[in-house]
C-alpha cells in the first residue's frame, strides 16, 4: 500500500529526492536529512504502514527481512565498529514521520 501524502512513500516513488544507499523490492535505505550521528540512515519498508503498533504477521515478515539485510548495509556504509537501531513509536517517542522506519546510527561513539 502507498499513501500519496506520506513523505516516505513519496521518497520510495521518487517524487521526493533522497540519498539512497540501498534499494530492493521490499525496502529502501537512505540518509536522514537531519543526521543525529556521523552516519544516520533510515531503513523503510516500501509498503506503507504508520506505526509499529500496526504490526501484523505479514508486516513482521518484512521487518524480519529488513533486520536480516541491515548488517550488510551497515557494513557497506562504514559501520563495522557498531551502530544503533531505533524505532520511534508514537508521540512520546517523538515520532514525526508516520511510515515505519528504523534509524541506523553510528560512525562515532554514540552518547548513551
Identify whether the C-beta of residue 84 lies closer than 8 Å to the C-beta of residue 39: no
Q: Single out the catalytic residue among 48, 99, 101, 103.
A: 101
Which C-beta is closer to Zn ion: that of 63 or that of 99? 99
- Binds 7, which of ligand AMP, Zn ion, none (CB < 5 to 8 A, cut-off by type)? ligand AMP
Residue span 44-73 as binding mask against Zn ion, x where in contact by CB under 5 A, dash where not = ----x-------------------------
Please pick, from the candidates 9, 18, 104, 106, the single residue that binds ligand AMP as defined by CB under 6 A.
Answer: 18
**Does 30 contact Zn ion by CB under 5 A?**
no
Q: How many whole angstroms separate alpha carbon 55 and alpha carbon 24?
A: 21
Distance of CA 31 to the CA centre of its chain: 9
Nearest to 63 by CA among 47, 82, 41: 47
Tell me if residue 101 is catalytic. Answer: yes
Query: Hey, which residues does 87 pair with through a beta bridge?
Result: none
Strand order in the sheet with 20-23: 20-23, 27-31, 39-45, 102-106, 83-86
- Binds 3, which of Zn ion, ligand AMP, none (CB < 5 to 8 A, cut-off by type)? Zn ion
- Catalytically active residues are 101
Which residues contact ligand AMP by CB under 6 A?
A: 7, 16, 18, 32-34, 42, 88, 94-97
Amino acid at each position: 500500500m502507498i499513501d500519496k501524502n506520506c513523505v516516505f512513500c513519496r521518497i520510495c516513488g521518487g517524487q521526493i529526492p533522497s540519498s539512497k544507499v540501498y534499494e530492493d523490492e521490499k525496502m529502501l535505505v537512505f540518509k536522514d536529512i537531519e543526521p543525529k550521528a556521523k552516519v544516520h540512515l533510515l531503513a523503510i519498508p516500501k509498503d506503507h504502514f504508520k506505526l509499529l503498533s500496526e504490526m501484523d504477521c505479514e508486516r513482521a515478515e518484512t521487518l524480519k527481512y529488513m533486520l536480516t539485510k541491515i548488517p550488510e548495509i551497515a557494513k557497506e556504509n562504514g559501520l563495522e565498529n557498531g551502530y544503533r537501531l531505533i524505532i520511534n513509536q508514537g508521540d512520546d517517542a517523538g515520532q514525526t514521520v508516520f511510515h515505519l522506519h528504523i534509524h541506523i546510527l553510528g560512525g562515532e561513539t554514540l552518547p548513551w
